Structure 1
């Protein structure tokens, strides 16, 4: 299926998997520049995601990953813990508590641009460094529904499509209000938006056949 060839990062030969490996070479270089034990906060991540990452890349120094999601995940691994929380407000974490804050394809799900700014501010507050990835709004294939130019269609058309077809990561959602909630829960970012959220960051553009598929904002290794 075209979806598995392009967007399914559980498939070893998919485009998403190839780009993920390229992306995390940058992240691994950032981690290896940090001496001692590395405390990582992952906003919106899963243990399965890290299993895939560490299968491709070996982390040489001691590390601990704290996963932060609306609901905690049960994990039986000494290097991982899972907490319930909201990336837009993390009062339980001290300033600079984590060597690195990591977030992959999450910031587009937290609400309005004001909500995204709150999350970006919290990332910079609790992390000494950060690595944040998000899809490009102007890439022609919307990454969640895997449908051409889906993000630019009127909401009523997007809702109708979601109600009547399996699209990307979503099975068909017959209920109109539920379909509308899913459609409107994603706010994709363009480069200008992303730079506003992370004005001091290095911005890396992931490309697919010359088109910018996603952006990564990260702290340069020498900082």
Structure 2
């Protein structure tokens, strides 16, 4: 492992990294906001089963919806479906849920119209929700760990991605790199207020700067 790869682990991936500590704080905050979580049915749009198995919190039931195939060996409190969160099958939409959860997904769904469909699904599925996304104007782009990456032209981002070793999944292929770059569209606070007009907007900060934005609705009705 190169020194830069070790640096990514230190800041993001390792159990004692800054990223891991931030995730732990976020889980703690989430549990505080929804104190009856252990009795709730939660649908997670775009999450993973592994994240819930590692989480320090456990709802009564979790249904995970993701485009990737889930593991086959699931505990009895977790259900997983392969589906598009912007175009959910009727059987998923028809079931009742207490809370919609989504962590760092809405910036990946692809353009304004699909983000609106995603938000519409959040509002339809349950009265309460927690939708988190990295903030567009935080100085360091969180997916690629490069300062100001989100402001560069696509060609420059593509070239950087092919050479920058701090990305989660590096690739030297130009087409693959361009696709990865174009799949991430960070959101502003104004956009989050537009998609979630009746929600409370909360901020996760690092060094006094807004690092991520959370649209939250804590009470039903």
Q: Counterpart in 2 of 1:177? A: 175
- Please give the alpha-carbon distance, in whole angstroms, between the structure 2 residues aligned to 1:43 and 1:190: 20
CA deviation after TM superposition for structure 1 residue 221, in Å: 4.5
Listed as ranges, the matches of 1:7-156 within 5 Å are 7-8=12-13, 11-33=14-36, 37-54=39-56, 57=57, 59=58, 63-74=60-71, 75-92=73-90, 93-94=92-93, 97-156=96-155
Q: What is the Cα-based RMSD across aligned positions, in Å?
A: 1.9
- Normalising by structure 2, report the TM-score: 0.89
Q: Unaligned stretches of 5+ in structure 1?
A: none
Name the residue aligned to 2:192. Answer: 194
Contact preservation (8 Å) 1:65, 1:80: yes
Which secondary structure does the structure 2 equivalent of 1:82 belong to?
Answer: strand
Q: 1:94 to 1:174 in 2, by over 3 A?
A: closer
2:69 and 2:191 map into 1 onto residues whose CA distance is 30
**Which of the two has greater helix per residue?**
2
CA contact 2:41–2:62 (8 Å) conserved in 1: yes
Gap regions ≥5 residues in structure 2? 1-5
SS in 1 for 2:143: coil
Q: Normalization by structure 1: what TM-score?
A: 0.88
1:19 Cα deviation after fit = 1.9
Cα separation, partners in 2 of 1:216 and 1:165, compared to 1, 3 Å: same
Q: Is the 2:42–2:100 Cα contact (8 Å) retained in structure 1?
A: yes
Aligned-pair CA distance for 1:167: 3.1
